[in-house]
Amino acid sequence: MSSAIIIGSGIAGMATALRLRAAGFDVDVFEANHYPGGKLHAFELEGYRFDAGPSLFTLPELVTELFGLFNEKPEDFFQYHRKTSVCNYFWEDGMRFTVNADRAIFAEEAAAKFGVEATSLLAYLKKSQKKYELTSPIFLEKSLHKIGTYLSKDTLRSLTQMWNLDIGTNLNSLNEASLREPHLVQLFNRYATYNGSSPYLTPGIMSIIPHLELHKGTYFPVGGMHSITSSLYQLALRNGIQFHFEQKVERIIVKAGKAVGVKVKEKEHLADFTVSNMDIFSTYKKLLPEQKHPERTLQQERSSSAVIFYWGIRKQFAELDLHNIFFSNNYQQEFAHIFEQKNLFEDPTVYINITGKEVPADAPQGSENWFVMINAPGDYGQDWDAFVLQARQNIIAKINRILGTDLESLIAVEDVLTPPMIEQRTGSYRGALYGAASNSKFAAFLRHPNFSRKIKQLYCSGGSVHPGGGIPLCLLSAKITSELIVSAS
């Protein structure tokens, strides 16, 4: 029986472990923290429960199919429901809009609200769907770095349609040409942040992302996002995967050009295959210091990070839902500050996630648990204490203006997460949430592959390698990685 060691128990690490175990491997997972899940974690603060990291759930089948690998019914262990509305949007000029999860209803309501043609919105979304269908078999479901990927019918079909993917223009230019109305342009520009990029730099192909929300759907897991972690962890335990917590891997052991295991607290643990679920930059710099590094890949621009406030609010706001966005008045300047100046814009776009809207027990009666996030640059040695004070003041002022409230007086409990803290807790280089940014049309091809070109039997999964960050792509990364290992064993 073949064996594998997984370094890190993030969502991709656990999914890789499960897939390899289902294929008959002995699997050990080494995790530096005392808990599984990486960024997909949760905590409580004086009666308020918070999901600490990712808050958007799409493509639930990528989770549920993992249970099917072991002939288990996913609904016995993991439940979720589809949301009828995607997100509530707020602008400083008084405009408010709720995006319906049904794209036909969305198009009708948006047309009436913003004075545009419903047919043009539907055409945009249908083109988004076509891009997704053309690119998913190549860019998302297979390794871009294996010649066999380019010899399939799907690849040939996609290559003949490259002109239709809007790779040569940026997302903002595409949206301005297609949508025109400024509120709608900003709404659809926001999808660049789903992979930590700027809509003024990332290619127009990123317009595939609305298809996931307005056709595939958005969902809420019963028990919150952390239930994804907890249900997969329990699935792993039921099926014999061994977890070693507070066991920080110090080195990947390489002998004769082959990864043969890891060193933890001066003890060697050997396996036929080694998979790093760590950030790829940290994998090379910390675990493979003596090996040749793919410097061009490691020097790629990092994605955005975040400053997150966890606030217990002594009030309930009927106008808010699970997902809420308060837009900046100058989106372009906000992204320039993040990616060019490496600081925070004075008028940030604010995202508020309130799981208490779905699970009332997540907050005391009459209260709400607010996960309040703004996009931020990575950690380049800035004064984060000063940034946090500035951000807190600007966020509260913005919410007060738009909702007509006195938020400061309603904050019962508070915690904060910054880019340096994200790096410390998860190993993500500079606190980047998605590894490398996608601010160029070649970004997808420059991501590190799911295997090492130089070291045999060393593989990689997670948000910093192909196909990218976010829960769905991390789960697809695990699928690609495990298939490569199984075929090599």
Burial of 75 (0-12, 13-18, 19+ CB in 10 A): exposed
Residues 280, 285, 289, 295: is their CA dihedral positive or negative? positive
Q: What is the CATH number of the domain that holds 49?
A: 3.90.660.20
Which of 433, 457, 477 is the endpoint of a domain? 433
Residue 134: per-residue pLDDT: 82
pLDDT tens profile 330-371: 999 999 999 999 999 999 999 999 999 999 999 999 999 999
Look up the pTM and report it.
Answer: 0.94
CA dihedral of 298, 300, 301, 304, whole degrees rounded to 10: -60
Residue 260 lies inside a defined structural domain of this protein = yes
Residue 146: per-residue pLDDT: 58
Residue 109 lies inside a defined structural domain of this protein = no
Q: Residues 6 or more apart from 162 whose CB is under 8 A from it?
A: none
Which of 190, 213, 236 is the endpoint of a domain? 213
Residue 224: per-residue pLDDT: 96
3-state DSSP call for residue 272?
A: coil
**Could you tell me which of 434, 74, 155 has the C-alpha nearest to residue 280?**
434
Which residue type is seen at 354?
I
Residue 231 lies inside a defined structural domain of this protein = no
Residue 163: per-residue pLDDT: 54
> Do 408 and 333 have their domain in common?
yes
Residue 233 lies inside a defined structural domain of this protein = no
> Do 484 and 389 have their domain in common?
no
Q: 264 phi and psi, to 5 degrees?
A: -130, 120
Residues in the chain, pLDDT under 70: 137-138, 140-163, 444-445
3-state DSSP call for residue 104?
A: helix
> Do 347 and 402 have their domain in common?
yes
> Do 83 and 59 have their domain in common?
yes
Provide the domain limits for residue 88.
Answer: 44-101+217-222+304-433
> Do 386 and 477 have their domain in common?
no
Enter the tokens of residue 272: 């036929």
> Do 408 and 377 have their domain in common?
yes
> Do 324 and 413 have their domain in common?
yes
Residue 156: per-residue pLDDT: 57
**Could you tell me which of 451, 427, 486 has the C-alpha nearest to residue 258?**
451
Which of 213, 233, 258 is the endpoint of a domain? 213
Q: What is the CATH number of the domain that holds 8?
A: 3.50.50.60
> Do 324 and 398 have their domain in common?
yes
Cα–Cα distance, 137 to 381 (Å, whole number): 40
Residue 227 lies inside a defined structural domain of this protein = no
**Could you tell me which of 277, 207, 204 has the C-alpha nearest to residue 39?**
277
pLDDT tens profile 38-75: 999 999 999 999 999 999 999 999 999 999 999 999 99
DSSP secondary structure, 221-262, as one string: ETT-THHHHHHHHHHHHHTT-EEEET--EEEEEEETTEEEEE
Cα–Cα distance, 67 to 238 (Å, whole number): 11
> Do 455 and 401 have their domain in common?
no
Beta bridge partners of 219: 57, 82
Q: 35 phi and psi, to 5 degrees?
A: -140, 155
CA dihedral of 84, 90, 93, 95, whole degrees rounded to 10: 10
**In total, how many domains does the chain have?**
3
**Could you tell me which of 127, 158, 129, 125 has the C-alpha nearest to residue 142?**
158
